[in-house]
């Protein structure tokens, strides 16, 4: 599963919520992410990276506004559990919170796509 999450070039082949990732996905690297629901290119930086366990992508201008997406893999009894969350903070959050999309459905689709690809050995 980790190989799927860290192969920027292959991402669009298994993940329907991502059109393109310019990588590489590695600590300290800035990514260029395109998604089908937006014309905008998102440019988070990989701010934490522990192989086979998890990573964090951060974007924005702290302290004004920042989004932090955390990916976590947990192994137990021969199975891997995937968790992903995005937390927004900053002084401008109260003013723009209503304009943020609902990340629930795309995050659920992301997890379904990852599960399917991992089970198929993509």
Please give the Cα distance from 27 to 67 (Å, whole number).
17
Domains of the chain: 2-120 (3.30.530.20)
Residue 121, pLDDT score: 85
Q: How confident is the model at residue 102 (pLDDT cuts 50, 70, 90)?
A: confident
Question: 22: closest CA among 47, 50, 45, 51?
Answer: 45
Please give the Cα distance from 117 to 5 (Å, whole number).
11
The answer on pLDDT for 24 being more than 90 is yes
pTM: 0.92
Q: What are phi and psi for residue 106, nearest 5 degrees? A: -65, -35
Paired with 59 in beta bridges are: 67
The answer on pLDDT for 108 being more than 90 is yes
Contact between 20 and 69 under an 8 Å Cβ cutoff? The reply is: no
Please give the Cα distance from 33 to 80 (Å, whole number).
25
Query: For the chain, what is the mean pLDDT?
Result: 95
Residue 101, pLDDT score: 84
Q: How confident is the model at residue 122 (pLDDT cuts 50, 70, 90)?
A: low
Structure tokens at 90: 């900053």
Q: Residue 33: enclosing H or E segment and its boundaries?
A: strand 32-34
List, for residues 41-90, the tens digit of each pLDDT value: 999 999 999 999 999 999 999 999 999 999 999 999 999 999 999 999 99
């Amino acid at each position: 599963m980790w190989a799927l999450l860290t192969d920027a070039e292959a991402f669009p082949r298994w993940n329907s919520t991502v059109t393109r990732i310019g990588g590489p996905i590695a600590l300290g690297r800035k990514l260029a992410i395109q998604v089908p629901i937006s014309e905008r290119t998102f440019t988070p930086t990989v701010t934490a990276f522990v192989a086979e366990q998890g990573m964090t992508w951060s974007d924005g201008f702290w302290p004004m506004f920042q989004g932090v997406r955390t990916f976590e893999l947990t192994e137990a009894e021969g199975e891997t559990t995937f968790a992903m969350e995005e937390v927004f903070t900053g002084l401008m959050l109260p003013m723009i919170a209503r304009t943020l999309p609902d990340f629930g459905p795309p995050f659920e689709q992301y997890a379904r796509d990852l599960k399917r690809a991992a089970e198929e050995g993509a």
